[in-house]
Amino acid sequence: MGFPFIFRGALDVAAKAINDEMMVAASEALAELARSSVTKEVKDAYGMADLTFGPDYVIPKPTDRRVLYHVAPAVARAAIETKVARKQIDIDTYGYMLQRKIEPSRRILKPIFKTAARKGRKIIFPEGDEPVILQAAEILLGDALAKPVLVGNTKKIQTAAEQSKVDISAMEILDPAKHPDRKEYAKKYLELRRRKGLTKKEADKRIKRPVIFGAMHLRLGNAHGLVVGQNLYYRHSLIPLFQILPTANKVEHAIGGYVIIPNNENISPIVLGDATIGIKPSKKDLAESGKLLADLAESIGLDPVVAFLSHASFGSSPDDEAARVQAALRLFRSKWPEIPADGEMQADVALNTKIIKKTYPFSPLANESRVNVLVCPDLDSANISYKLLQSLGEAHLVGPILLGMKHPVHVLERHCGVGQVVELAALAAAQEYE
């Protein structure tokens, strides 16, 4: 397991030799990794539901990609400390560089992760007894990206943590059924929903649901963000959040976006939406979606260039659907003229600058290097697009990212992996709210 990565660390610092200290450092790095939570990817590769340190598992599996950025930096550090390195490097930067080679999201989300680490905010997890959530919480805490707040039955959370070999001693646990503020939360919840058919009896009952309790805990300022949905249908997670948490100022409708990260580092990422919420948005909703997606693109270091997609390009079809997208573009330009945008256009036109320059030179996008924000005309097209990319395309998808809410909240895809939870929780921890 250590052999290739010992050489990687040695070569990257131009070591004159490979000494005992470097080999011991590799061994200790492997031992440390073996004691940490095993990723879902590794478990799936071996067809195992559970894999934890013990008599049957003492070193990481060969498919564990994390070995690279655990072992090589340890070897490089030992080489520098024992003065056999001829090249001095920053070990933290080196480790991150190795990590981003095999985890594309780290390359793009670096500003997000750095901000999250600096803020150290509390993120609520209403599914506190889910193994995937617990493993993600351990990573978030260990990497100082966030302070996890686990919501649920205390005994169930403790049992699940023991079975998953996750240390939760430093994590906050909220049990809705026993929390001292439960009645106050139920009262506040009733005030929000009493003209929506909610009764006091029903409020007292519903507040015990982790997602409702967690949302109220967030609304009342006791945490910074919330991530839910690993074992809940998207709609069942989303509705309580919409009922309790408001949208941001000047935003009428929240949307769901994705960051699509190509495996090729030379190709910049693309932001796509709305893939989860708006069934058939109006021209006003589409324009607002363009702005929310452009803001997301800017948050990951992109200069947003927006394309409003359609089945037609620049008036080639006179139907109402194309006209709706054209109207959305006009509205977008009137509100945010500083953001380059055009439409309506087909997806291949939007993503191929050569086509725009040759066939549609009148478009302002002909002067841009590449479109990086795609606004889909409806939920069907956006959802189908990202699902196809996820299943067939060689790209990493970050999302769904809930945009337009006052508080940083995100709803996971059901049965997602640890990595997705970590990404969205870090994003929530880094986001500001109004």
CATH of the domain at 391: 3.40.50.10750
Per-residue confidence in pLDDT tens, the chain, 434 aa? 778 889 999 999 999 999 999 999 999 999 888 887 776 667 766 666 677 777 878 888 777 778 888 899 999 999 999 999 999 988 877 876 776 666 666 667 777 888 888 898 999 999 999 999 998 998 898 888 999 999 999 999 999 999 888 889 999 999 999 999 999 999 999 999 999 999 999 999 999 999 999 999 999 999 999 999 998 888 889 999 999 999 998 899 999 999 998 876 677 889 999 999 989 999 999 999 999 999 999 988 899 999 999 999 999 988 999 999 999 999 999 999 999 999 899 999 999 989 999 999 999 999 888 899 999 999 999 999 988 887 777 778 888 999 999 999 999 988 888 888 999 999 999 998 76
Residue where one domain finishes, among candidates 62, 77, 102: 102
- Assess if residue 86 is contained within a domain: yes
In a domain, residue 90? The reply is: yes
**Does residue 410 form part of some domain?**
no
Q: Is residue 193 part of a domain?
A: yes
405 to 50, 249, 252, 310, 411: CA distances (angstroms): 36, 9, 9, 27, 12
Sequence-distant (6+) residues with CB within 8 A of 345 are 307, 308, 309, 310, 313, 314, 360
- How many domains does one find in the chain? 3
| The predicted structure's pLDDT at residue 102 | 63
| 98 and 63 share one domain | yes
**Residue 101's pLDDT is what?**
65
Which CATH number covers residue 132? 3.40.50.10950
Compute CA 255 distance to the chain's CA centroid, rounded to the nearest angstrom.
15
Identify whether the C-beta of residue 402 lies closer than 8 Å to the C-beta of residue 430: no
Q: Answer yes or no: do 359 and 424 share one domain.
A: no
User: Is the domain of 394 the same as that of 265?
Assistant: yes
Residue 55's pLDDT is 83
Taking the C-alpha atoms of residue 85 and residue 76, their distance in angstroms, rounded to an integer, is 8
Q: Are residues 264 and 390 in the same domain?
A: yes
Residue 301 Rama label (left phi>0; alpha psi -120 to 50; beta)? left
Q: Are residues 379 and 272 in the same domain?
A: yes
Query: Is residue 160 one of the residues assigned to a domain?
Result: yes
User: Are 181 and 130 in a shared domain?
Assistant: yes
Specify whether 97 is located in the same domain as 125: no
**Residue 205 sits in the same domain as residue 336:** no
Q: Which of 53, 80, 102 is the last residue of a domain?
A: 102
Question: Which of 69, 102, 135 represents a domain boundary (last residue)?
Answer: 102
* pLDDT (0 to 100) of residue 255: 95
Residues 183 and 307 in one domain: no
The owner of tokens 């240390």 is: 167
**Any residues with CB less than 8 A from the CB of 102 and at least 6 apart, and which?**
65, 68, 69
**Is 409 part of a structural domain of the chain?**
no
Which residue range(s) make up the domain with 341?
255-404
- What pLDDT does residue 144 have? 87
Q: φ and ψ at 278, to 5 degrees?
A: -75, 110
Q: Are residues 143 and 261 in the same domain?
A: no
Looking at the structure, tell me whether residues 62 and 155 fall in a common domain: no
Q: What pLDDT sits at residue 234?
A: 87
**Residue 338 counted as domain residue:** yes
Name, in order, each residue with C-beta under 8 angstroms of 372's C-beta and a sequence gap of 6 or more: 268, 269, 270, 271, 297, 302, 303, 304, 305
Q: Are residues 97 and 121 in the same domain?
A: no
- What span, in angstroms and rounded, lies between the C-alpha atoms of 203 and 65? 47
Q: What is the pLDDT of residue 350?
A: 94
264 phi and psi angles, rounded to 5 deg: -80, 115
Altogether, the residues listed in the chain come to a count of 434
Flag whether 339 is in a domain: yes
Q: How far apart are CA 73 and CA 25, in angstroms?
A: 9
